[in-house]
Chain A
Amino acid sequence: MRTNPRRLAAAALVTAATVLAAGCAASGHGTASGDGGTTASRGDEVTMNLRGAPTSWNVLSLNGYNDLGFEYTWPFMPHAFAPDTQGTMQLNTALLASAKVTSTNPMKIVYQIKPQAKWSDGTPITAADFIYTWKVQDPAYCPKCQAGTTSGYTNISSIQGSDNGKTVTVTFSTPFQPWEYLFDAILPAHIAAKSGSMADSFNDAFSQSPPTWSGGPFIVSHYQPNTSITYKPNPQWYGPSPKLKEFTLLIISNASAALTAFQNGELQVFDSFASQSAVQTLKEMPNTTVSIQPTLINYQMMLQAAGNPLGNRTLRRAITIATSAAAATARTVGLFEPGAQVMQSAVFVPGQEVDGQVGYRDDASALGVGSGNTKEALALLKGAGYTLKGGALYEPNGTRVRALNAVTYSADPIRVELAEVVQVELKSIGITVNIDSVGPTEYVDRIDSKDFDILFTGLAFEMQSASAAAYYTAGAPLNWLHYDNPQVNSLLAKAQEAANPQTAISLMNQADKLILGDGVVVPFFSSPNLMAYPSDLTGVSNTASRYGTTVSLAAWAYR
């Protein structure tokens, strides 16, 4: 009688079947192609992925002032201006009736807050909120406030309120050209007043807990740490009513996990950096709209401007001429975005505007930067005394040009590919490039210690002249290249103070020509953002700005 092995086998099968049955019994909460299988009907709920957990609920704080922070705070914060799909700041007509520069010397801006604009507890939004938002971002008033940025706020000398606080007059001690980026998030002064000092409210009260208040179309209804944030419509919202009854951000830090969740119906909206495999997968899904939008972050190759051998301007010029931006674009983003435009400017992305006027100019072509013209590069080098022997480049003194160390970011396949393309191209002018493809921590360390000859990176140009100055002005914290051109320093400083957008554009493009001519940068293309959502979901806008895709949330609705 040998029944026991069979009984054991049966037990094994029963165990396996029980586990499977438990899973199968979890069905019945909706379809795989539609909602996340949880609660209410399809027509009024949307779940979207969020690339990381909230690090701070105060988007203006040190740990909150980033793309991610704006994504999850935008729905409940009031904003003076909001970006359109091209990333150009437009007046937020829900909050403001107008915002105008009424004087240029000194620079004065008058904001007219709409009478109905109020916080979710019924307190009106007034000049007091603007004053608080300004002071917490100006170390002169709040040295202990850990603000993510002070740009522009330190230029303000005073803010006056009138008409019961609904007229806000901002006076600047020094003009600030990209003023539309100020007050991109406004904090409630009356709630801050209950939390002790300005620093206590800013650093702690607003940062550490999900807000129970709102000045935007939605309010946070539930936060599950590291898992999800749920929003419901703000009952005191003063603008056009949002269509959705519930919006959930599901925290998924891994892009491929988010993609499979979207395929499985656990997400209705997918938002991520673009990659060829993701685009291909999404385009094969039925009834799905796929949107690829260039952003105001652009990929660039940057070169050290000091030391041996890149301290030599001619060598740098030759490198930037021998590099083909078109080939690099075609090999990377061009694989899934055939219309990807090669950038010809180091300070603007294509289509970027300053106060409604296009700032982008093609400053690179005339200089040959990014042209891939090997003959011109070799002629330049020959004219400077360099020689090419046996496939290697030699300096005028006969020393072989040493191998250059190129640092790129291993987690970004586009940056890795760019490095490989350039490595091959520079071989044609006798330069050997060794690629260091490093992880996030080492990448930041190498940049911080300026330990590279060539850097493949993505730079944000949201704040136009202020952004350009941060990278290319001598002594600026983000000038990793030891770059110092007094003319560039002066032009960018004047551009930041220019009240007239045409003046600012002209000054920035003059600086751009000098920067490109000095051979410290080769712009490639604008970094694309990828979104996918059901074809019957309207109002979704894949914006070019750093403020994220929730900018248009109030307009999202199923047909």
Chain B
Amino acid sequence: MALRYLVKRLAAGVGVLVGATIIIFLLVNAAGDPLGPLEQQQPPVPRAVIAAERLRLGLNKPLPERYLQWLAGVVHGNWGPSIDPATNIGQQLAQRIPVTMELVGTALVIAIILALVVGTIAAVRPYGIFDSLSTPTSFFLLALPSFWLAVLLKQLGILYNQRTETQTFYTVGSSSPNLAPGIGGYILNIAGHVILPTVTLALIHYASWSRYQRAAVLDSLSSDYVKSAVLRGLSYRQVLWHAVRPALIPVVTVIALDIPALLSGTVIVETVFQWNGMGAFLLQSITEDDPNAIMAWFLVAAAAVVGFNLIADLAYALLDPRIRYGT
């Protein structure tokens, strides 16, 4: 039954993605002529060269034909030609997705752990010292623009390095070029590059998630089954688990719904910290007016959103044994 549900959801997800391809294709191709910058180059580019480029990019074909050709290519793993002949979009995605996953994955783990812990403590001791500190902190972080937080953390990192005369924090890239051989040095260098951008991304999302967790745990603590657990003489830890577990469901929903925001946050964070991930790829593709690259990005993002929402649905069944799919 659960398997049937999973298959149905996957099929629905594919349908959503196909619909997304049509919208993405139409919007991107309505944005202008990608060969415009070439026509402006100085000294001027020969007309024959421009005509050859138009042919290579398929821009001489009608829109429906171009869509079908592109879609067929994507199904077979061919994302289409880039505006830059030396660029392979598939290779770019293969290089950049792991970079963004490193950033997003680390930030996601940090944000989830912090949000769950802080939100739970705040709920268990509402209006106490901890809650009184964590609440305004969360609101402050919610109000802070992400690019401003990123720049602030960079400046704090530079200040720390200057005061301690060390190279603890790095402000650009996911690693330094030409690292000395050795796994220890490699790990330390990676950590120095990872810390500032992941903390930036994590803090932004931790703020809202911790508020949801606090509200959900508070609500759960006042429910009848928790009161029953107390009256039955269960230990504090057991009672807390009875309260926290169902409270995770709304938070899981919020996290899944926040994935698009997380991905759009990577555009800003990767730009500020110059990580060569998917966010930087999107900006670069838009700057270069590379329609196939832009469409590839949006399609990958759409697939990520569909996937994470499916994972959230499956997580419900794990968290709440009352939920059974397909019955």
Contacts and interface: CB of A to CB of B under 8 A. Distances in A.
Contacts of B173: 227, 250
Given A63-B86, A250-B172, A478 B167 contact: no
A248 B45 contact: no
A47 B165 CA distance: 19
Contacts of B69: none
Interface stretch (A20-28, A128-136, A393-401): A20-28
B188 A207 contact: no
Given A37-B176, A257-B272, A445-B36, A264 B199 contact: no
Contact of A33 (B125, B162, B168, B177): B162
B43 A470 contact: yes
Interface stretch (B16-24, B57-65, B110-118, B312-320): B110-118
Contacts of B157: 264
A207 B85 contact: yes
A200 B162 CA distance: 51
B38 interface: yes
A230 B86 CA distance: 20
A9 B166 CA distance: 31
B120 A8 contact: yes
A26 B237 CA distance: 38
Interface string B142-179: 00000000000011011001101111111111011111
B276 interface: yes
A427 interface: no
Given A139-B48, A261-B171, A441 B114 contact: no
A440 interface: yes
B93 interface: no
Contact of B86 (A33, A207, A257, A447): A207
Contact of B171 (A203, A264, A447): A264
Interface in B253-287: 271-274, 276, 280, 284, 286-287
B158 A12 contact: no
Interface in B166-214: 166-173, 175-180, 185, 188-189, 191-192, 195, 199
B222 interface: no
B285 to A, nearest CB: 11
Interface in B7-57: 31-33, 36-46, 48-49, 52-53
Contact of B125 (A5, A25, A149): A5
B128 to A, nearest CB: 9
A63 B284 contact: no
A150 B46 contact: yes
A366 interface: no
Given A23-B168, A26-B192, A264-B157, A248 B178 contact: yes
A10 B130 CA distance: 12
- The CB with the most chain A CB atoms within 10 A, among B52, B95, B96, B274, is that of B274
B44 A260 contact: no
Given A31-B166, A254-B274, A445-B32, A467 B42 contact: yes
Interface stretch (A83-91, A218-226, A509-517): A218-226
B121 interface: yes
Contacts of A5: 121, 124-125, 130
Interface residues of A, number: 88
A252 B38 CA distance: 23
A4 interface: yes
Given A19-B195, A227-B177, A63 B172 contact: no
A438 B142 CA distance: 30
B178 A27 contact: no
Contact of B39 (A29, A31, A39, A477): A477
B303 interface: no
Contacts of A261: 171-172, 274
A56 B40 CA distance: 18
B171 A257 contact: yes
A30 interface: yes
A102 B240 CA distance: 94
Nearest to A39: B180
Interface string A240-283: 00000010101111100110110111100000000000000000
B85 A263 contact: no
Contacts of A177: none
Given A12-B118, A150-B46, A37 B167 contact: yes
Contact of A30 (B32, B96, B167): B167
Contacts of A146: 49, 52-53, 85
A143 B48 contact: yes
A208 B86 contact: yes
Interface in A439-459: 440-442, 444-445, 447-448, 459
Contacts of B169: 23, 26, 264
- The CB with the most chain B CB atoms within 10 A, among A11, A63, A230, A264, is that of A264
B121 A8 contact: yes
B177 A38 contact: yes
A155 interface: no
Nearest to B181: A39
Contacts of A33: 162, 165
A230 B168 CA distance: 23
B114 A260 contact: no
Given A24-B168, A207-B85, A226-B95, A257 B44 contact: no
Given A32-B167, A208-B86, A478 B121 contact: no
B167 A476 contact: no
Nearest to B113: A15
A54 B39 CA distance: 20
A56 B178 contact: no
A193 to B, nearest CB: 21
Interface in A194-236: 203, 207-208, 222, 224-228, 230
B287 A26 contact: no
Contacts of B167: 26-32, 36-37, 264-265
Given A27-B168, A55-B84, A56-B86, A441 B177 contact: no
A148 B125 contact: no
Contacts of A37: 167, 170, 176
A261 B273 CA distance: 9
A32 B161 contact: yes
B49 A62 contact: yes
B85 A63 contact: yes
B300 to A, nearest CB: 17
Contacts of B171: 257, 260-261, 264, 266
B86 A38 contact: no
Interface string A27-59: 111111100111100000001000001111100
A319 interface: no
Interface of B: 31-33, 36-46, 48-49, 52-53, 84-87, 95-96, 110, 113-114, 117-118, 120-121, 124-125, 130, 154-155, 157-158, 161-162, 164-173, 175-180, 185, 188-189, 191-192, 195, 199, 236-237, 240, 271-274, 276, 280, 284, 286-287, 289
The 6 closest A-B pairs by CB, nearest first: A37-B167, A26-B192, A32-B161, A228-B177, A27-B166, A477-B44
Given A28-B166, A228-B178, A265-B167, 20 more contacts: A11-B117, A12-B114, A26-B169, A28-B167, A32-B166, A33-B162, A33-B165, A36-B176, A55-B86, A143-B48, A144-B52, A148-B45, A225-B276, A250-B172, A250-B173, A253-B280, A257-B274, A441-B32, A441-B36, A459-B42
29 contacts: A4-B240, A9-B130, A12-B118, A15-B117, A16-B114, A19-B110, A22-B191, A23-B168, A23-B169, A25-B191, A28-B188, A29-B167, A29-B185, A30-B167, A31-B165, A32-B158, A32-B161, A38-B179, A39-B179, A47-B177, A56-B86, A65-B41, A148-B41, A149-B45, A208-B86, A251-B276, A254-B274, A261-B171, A441-B289
